[in-house]
Amino acid sequence: MGLTELVVQRFGDVENDEDKPDAKDRRLPQVAECAVVGAPDETWGQRVTVVAVPRGERLPLATLRDALREALPASALPRAVRWVDAMPLTGPGKHDRGALRRLATEPDEVA
């Protein structure tokens, strides 16, 4: 399982996730939807960035990182978060990866 899948599963943005018995146990209730993309980083080349739709109050990046620590090594944890009102979608309703990458270049918080 790749980094994106681990992050997405932890935050609960997996298609048909409701069918899985432990789906609600794995979700952060404050994150309605998310995607993970790489954003340019001067030091590392790219940084892992979570683009997320909050459900209520926005969580600090440190809280999001803490929620992933048991599933990911420290080097793979998201280094930035960008909160949005709605995920950008393509015509068929899938996440617009290009738009997500553009959003990730202006994060709300960077570790």
pLDDT, tens digit, 9 for 90 and up, residues 44-99: 888 989 999 998 999 999 998 988 888 778 877 899 999 999 999 998 889 999 99
Q: How many CB atoms lie within 10 A of CB 67?
A: 19
Measure the CA–CA gap between 105 and 4, rounded to whole angstroms.
17
Among 11, 53, 51, smallest CA distance to 35 is for 51
**Beta strand spans in 23-77 (E):** 31-41, 45-54
Measure the CA–CA gap between 105 and 34, rounded to whole angstroms.
16
Which tokens is 31 given?
């994150």
- What type of residue is 102? R
State pTM to two decimals: 0.75
